[in-house]
Every structure is written in C-alpha cells, then in structure tokens.
Structure 1
C-alpha cells in the first residue's frame, strides 16, 4: 500500500546509503506561559517518542505554576526564552516584537530584561533566544551574544527557503552552500505542522515535501549535514487533526533507522564546547 510518507522515506533511504551519520531532528513548541491540558498532552507526546522538546517560554508572562511544572518535567522539556512579553510592536505590518521599526537600544534593553527574568525562573547557563512571531531584525541577532544568549532559534528566511527548493530540485551537489551563521549558535525550525490560514493541520504532502528538501539540502552539501531539522508546534492552538499530524510525523521519523532526535540542551552545550576548543586551538597556533 502506498504511503503519503513514501517520498520522504525514499530520501531517508538514500541518506542512509550515502552518509555514515544520522539525520538529526528536534521539536520546538512556542508560546508557553502556564500549565494546561494541552501542555500535559504535549509532555505525553515527548515521553512516548522519547524526545525532549524545546519549550519557548514567554518570560514576561510566565506563571510560577509553569516554573514548578517544568522543574518536574526535565526529561520532556528544555526551556527557551521566547522574547520578553510577546507583544506586537509592528502594528499594521507583519507582527514582530523585535522588528526593524524599533530602536535597537530598546530591543537590547528588552532582551536583557527577558534574560534576567528567564534566568530567575530557570537559571540556564546556555539560554537560547526565540523571537516571537519568528521575526527579528539582524541587528539584534548580532547583539544577542553580548546580551548573554548562547544561541538563537529562527525559521529560514524566504531567500533560504527558495534557494533550498531550487538547489534540491536541481540536485546541485557542492555548487551552492548556505552562508555560515556568524552570530553565535543557531538551531532553527523548518517543518511547521500547522496551516495558519486554515487554523488546522498542514497536509502530509506539504510537510513531506519540506522534509525532503531539508534532508536533500544536507545530503547535497547546501547545508551542514549535522544541522538539526526542527519541527515547530504550538500546543495552545492544536486541534485534533494537528495532534494527529504530529503523532503521524513522529511515528514515521522514529520508524527509520537513519533518524535521531537530539536533546537541545546537550546540543547547545556540545556546540559551545566545540567552539571553545576551536578558538583555543586557533589561539595556540597563532601564538
């Protein structure tokens, strides 16, 4: 029987035959402020599929109840800093809390306040910044390491998505490569399981096509092969079709031997350690 995941499975099979490493995946869920039935259901998903979810928490709105819940759910969730208060400052335009219309000094100040609040709740030594509405001005991205953030989690830009679509379709091996990210560590999300116009689940065909592009881009060298592929969820707005779509995607990925889910906390710690070793080696050679 033909499966809607066959297209993606064939690409994973090619990946397995052509690479000694596994394809890395992770999950990021946005907009957490308090405990809820949906959050507990998401925790069950994490437990069932043996993965830790990066939970983007809004530090200016978080409740002590959520703090206590996450302290008991360290195997299911890794807290991430979701802006400051998730306020749209771009009225009349595409929403953004840290968009280009705000003075950079104001955005840095909000990011600093957000980090202090986040650390009071979670004490993370490697905090990752997740911009609300998945939009952020490049000027603030460059400033985040100085503020104290160890990394940033974004969505690929329109240019990145189009280049990936084209190079994946044309099978350009080694001809094109995405520019290297210079402003700290970056761990993105790529597969949004929600169709925001319809306010329900994205079709399997759309998710599968995006999955194939991400896998093929890594296999062909457009992206680093070990760059994790991120799945984006929003537990507060999940209807039953969205829950079903998430379970279906995770069941499919977990069934393939070339797939591995990362612990985002361990990933950022390991990435930071690798960068320190590189810097130390360069300093020694330079001396």
Structure 2
C-alpha cells in the first residue's frame, strides 16, 4: 500500500525527467447546498485546487446555482439526467443504458444539457459524467450530437477520444469504499492508486497524456475522508500540479 514517502519518490522520478505530474479533481452528485458541499468548496478556495462539480441537472436546486456564482474556479459538468437506474436487477446500475432505445436516453441527456446551459452559462463545460461511471456504446456515440465534447468515467482511458469529437479524461483515485463500508477507503489505498497511475503514465504503460484524476462524492464524506483531502491538497512537490478544469478539457 502507498505512503506519502512513496508518493514523493514517484514524483522525484518525474522531476528527474523534467516532466510535470498533472492532476485534476472531480466531485459527483451535486444537487443542493449542503455542509458537505461547503467543505469541498472551502478546500478549493484554501488550497487553490480547481474543482469540477458533476451536477445532476434533473434535480438541481436554485440554491446551488446561486451559491456557485460566488466561486471562482469551479466548473460544472453534466451528471446524467436524474441519476436514476434503468438496468434490470441482475445488472449493475446504469442511467445511460442500453435497455431503452438510445434515442430515449439521449433525449433525456439533451434535456439535462439544456438545463445546465441555461442555469450555469459559461461555467458549464460540455462534458458528460455518466452516473455510476457507466455508459452504453450507442449512447456514447450520440453524445456529440447533443453538443457534448467530453466524457469522464473511471480508470485509465484506452484512447484520447471515446467517439468522434468526444475527448475522454477519466478519474483514477476513488476515496470511497463503495463495496465495503461506504466510508473512506483509506489513505494507503488512495495513495497507492495515485502512485500506480502516475507511474504508469511516466513509463507509458497507460496514456501518458491523460491527467491523473481524483474522484470524490461530497455527500458521503466522513471525517477521515475530509482529513485525507486536506493532507493531499496541502502536499507539495515541484513536479506536481493541479490543473484548471478548462485545461483538462482543452477544446481543439
């Protein structure tokens, strides 16, 4: 399992090759203003770590729109439509599914796109974050027709573009133990995931250009999760930099 010393050693290896280990931060399931949301916005402000907030458009409340006007670096991504499962009981949960006709799913996504465009204007980046990080191939291919230009799921990407005109930039470090306690997965697990992806990028085992992504879910953070985020965001190394969200998805 990873330690802070292991992370520093990996970043030292980046520094020796005059490369920058870039990272980005995505937080999912935003709907309303809560104490948990205020905590991550405080982290963004205190540590100057830009935040991509994946908002559920079919459930977004007016208070969230008003609150985010006050933030400087937060960018909004589209988190499906209503974060509702349409998969049968014997399959993993999925909203952007292959159970319904792709046209029906894409019509919902278009509604969500229109809501976020109207509510957040230029703060909204046209990037789809599929709930549960799952999306059917047919729906994926149709996202550019809606106006979406990016997609973000979980795990190292296979290629830079998931479909024609659809840039993919994923996350690689999940702070929640979804299959166990549903609390903090542990400092050592998070650091190991971070080190593993950084090393794979450095050695070109995975796409070296894909920025290493941190995934959080503010609504289920416990005190241990929050403590880790403070430690991570306050960690400094000359070879490590957190990217502005617009830089993570640079439209060519």
TM-score, normalisation: structure 2: 0.91
Aligned pair partner of 1:121 in 103, 119, 129: 119
Match of 2:133 in 1: 134
Are the equivalent residues in 1 in contact too, given 2:77–2:125 (CA < 8 A)? no
Deviation at 1:121, TM superposition (A): 0.7
**Do residues 250 (structure 1) and 230 (structure 2) align?**
no
The 5-angstrom pairing of residues 25-44 of structure 1 reads 25-44=23-42
Structure-2 change in CA distance of 1:224 and 1:105 (3 Å): same
Deviation at 1:117, TM superposition (A): 1.1
Deviation at 1:199, TM superposition (A): 1.8
Deviation at 1:21, TM superposition (A): 2.7
Map Cα deviations across residues 153-208 of structure 1 (whole Å, 9 max, x no partner): 11127xx7xxxxxxxxxxxxxxxxx4443421112111001112212111222112
- Alignment partners' CA distance in 2, 1:133 and 1:267: 21
- Alignment partners' CA distance in 2, 1:132 and 1:58: 9
- Alignment partners' CA distance in 1, 2:140 and 2:121: 22
The 5-angstrom pairing of residues 53-92 of structure 1 reads 53-75=51-73, 77-92=74-89
Deviation at 1:106, TM superposition (A): 1.0
The 3-state SS of whatever aligns with 2:116 is: helix
Residues paired across the two proteins, number:
246
Match of 2:207 in 1: 224
Are the equivalent residues in 2 in contact too, given 1:23–1:226 (CA < 8 A)? no
TM-score, normalisation: structure 1: 0.81
Are the equivalent residues in 1 in contact too, given 2:162–2:168 (CA < 8 A)? no
Structure-2 change in CA distance of 1:267 and 1:117 (3 Å): same
Aligned pair partner of 2:194 in 187, 211, 214: 211
Larger Rg: 1
Match of 1:52 in 2: 50
Are the equivalent residues in 2 in contact too, given 1:23–1:225 (CA < 8 A)? no
Structure-2 change in CA distance of 1:193 and 1:182 (3 Å): closer
Map Cα deviations across residues 24-43 of structure 1 (whole Å, 9 max, x no partner): 11111111111111111111
The 3-state SS of whatever aligns with 1:123 is: helix
Structure 2 unaligned blocks of 5 or more = none
The 5-angstrom pairing of residues 167-246 of structure 1 reads 178-183=158-163, 184-196=166-178, 197-246=180-229
- Alignment partners' CA distance in 2, 1:83 and 1:179: 22
Cα RMSD for the two superposed structures: 1.8
- Alignment partners' CA distance in 1, 2:113 and 2:68: 18
- Alignment partners' CA distance in 1, 2:159 and 2:52: 25
- Alignment partners' CA distance in 1, 2:186 and 2:135: 28
- Alignment partners' CA distance in 1, 2:217 and 2:34: 13
- Alignment partners' CA distance in 2, 1:185 and 1:136: 15
Structure 1 unaligned blocks of 5 or more = 161-177, 274-287
